[in-house]
Structure 1
């Protein structure tokens, strides 16, 4: 699953959740936006925040609420729970389990 922050209409960054059925990894992809713009866009969307240039924190409940309606598989909720459990076991849950720490990458084509 990818949370993208890319340039949107009127130079305002846009946040999109894509590839929701691919739960082999969850990461944040930034397009042609500054770190400050990305952080503000994530906060405005209620999906998380940017910690630094390499790390973001995504809100677990908000991400699920956004992604699940787009999901194609009947077992998506179970697989998502597995992602969250694996993150907890790996020490990647923050904010008392409400946030999922993810890596930041460059958005394709940005």
Structure 2
């Protein structure tokens, strides 16, 4: 799963949750936006925050809500909730769970085409 922050309409950054069926990976992808713009867009969307140029924290509940609504229309959606729980367990085991489990620490990458 990827949370993208990219330049949207009227050059304003927008947040999109994509590849929601791929729960084997999770990262934050930034397009041509500044760190400040990315942080503000994530906070405004209620999906998390940027910590620095290399990492961010995503709100697990908000991310699940945004992704799960899309997963219902994709192949493999039947076991999506179980695979989501597996993602959370992996995050806890690897120390990527923060904010008492409410957040997931993720790596920042460049967005495709950025």
TM-score, reference length from structure 2: 0.95
Q: Where in structure 1 do 4 or more consecutive aligned residues deviate above 3 Å? A: none
Identify the residue that residue 18 of structure 1 maps to in structure 2: 18
Deviation at 1:109, TM superposition (A): 0.2
Identify the residue that residue 78 of structure 2 maps to in structure 1: 74
Structure 1 gap ranges (5+): none
- Match of residue 95, structure 2, among 91, 103, 109: 91
Question: CA-atom RMSD, angstroms?
Answer: 0.5
Deviation at 1:42, TM superposition (A): 0.1
For residues 1-110 of structure 1, the aligned pairs below 5 Å read 1-71=1-71, 72=74, 73-110=77-114
Deviation at 1:8, TM superposition (A): 0.8
Structure 2 gap ranges (5+): none
Q: Could you list the per-position Cα deviations for residues 28-85 of structure 1 after superposition, in whole angstroms to 9, with x for gaps in the alignment? A: 0000000000000000000000000000100000000000011121000000000001
TM-score, reference length from structure 1: 0.98
Is the helix fraction higher in 1 or 2? 2
Inter-partner Cα distance in structure 2 for 1:81 and 1:61? 12
For these two proteins, the number of residue pairs brought into alignment is 110
